[in-house]
Amino acid sequence: MTEPRRHIATQTGFLMVLRQGDDVFARLEALMREEAIPSAFIAGLGFAGHVTFGFFDYEKKEYAPKTMHNLELTNLTGTLAWKDGKPSIHAHGTAGDDSFRTFGGHLLALEVGRGSLEISVTVIPTRLERAVDPGIGANVLQL
C-alpha cells in the first residue's frame, strides 16, 4: 500500500496534510530538506495526539516541559530556518481540550492524533539562519 502524500505545492509554498502518528517536527524538517526551503512562515491546525510545550527558564538555561494528550490544536504559528546546516523550527501552539479550555506556548514536540493536521508553508526566498544572540541568550532569526 502506498503511503498517502503529505504535501503539495501551492502558489506561495506548500500545503501539508499530516496524519495520525506523524511527528510534525520531523515531517517539517524532511520537507525543508527535500524542497530546499530557504526559510518559511507556517500556520496550521489539527488534532494533537501528544503535544509538549516548554517555557524557557533563563536560570537553568532549559525549557520546563509539559506533555498533554488529545487536544484540538486550534493554531500553530512558526518559522522555518536553518542553524549550522540543519533545519531550525520555531513554533508556538494553542490547543483546546474536550471542555474547550485552552493551553499554549512554545512547542517542543507534536504528534498528530486521531485525525489530521494541516499546515500552510509560505516560502521566503531568502535563506535565513538562527543564531544565539549574546545580549539575549536565546536563538534569534538573523535578517
Q: Where do contacts with its own copies occur on this chain (CB under 8 A)?
A: 4-8, 10-12, 15, 17, 19-20, 39, 41, 43-46, 53, 55-56, 58, 64, 66, 68, 72-79, 90-106, 114-116, 118, 120, 122-126, 133, 135-138, 140-143
Cell 509554498, residue?
A: 13
Judge whether 124 and 38 are in contact, CB under 8 Å: yes
84 CB-near residues (< 8 Å, 6+ apart): none
> Whole-angstrom Cα distance, residue 118 to residue 136?
33
Q: Which is nearer to its own copies, 29 or 70 (CB)?
A: 70
Q: Which is nearer to its own copies, 10 or 69 (CB)?
A: 10
Q: Which is nearer to its own copies, 4 or 85 (CB)?
A: 4
Instruction: Compute the least distance from the CB of residue 36 to its own copies, in Å.
Output: 15
Q: Which is nearer to its own copies, 30 or 45 (CB)?
A: 45
Instruction: Compute the least distance from the CB of residue 22 to its own copies, in Å.
Output: 12
Instruction: Compute the least distance from the CB of residue 103 to its own copies, in Å.
Output: 5
Q: Is the dihedral of CA 1, 72, 110, 30 positive or negative?
A: positive
Judge whether 61 and 136 are in contact, CB under 8 Å: no
Q: How many CB atoms lie within 10 A of CB 117?
A: 24
Instruction: Compute the least distance from the CB of residue 95 to its own copies, in Å.
Output: 7
Judge whether 48 and 70 are in contact, CB under 8 Å: yes
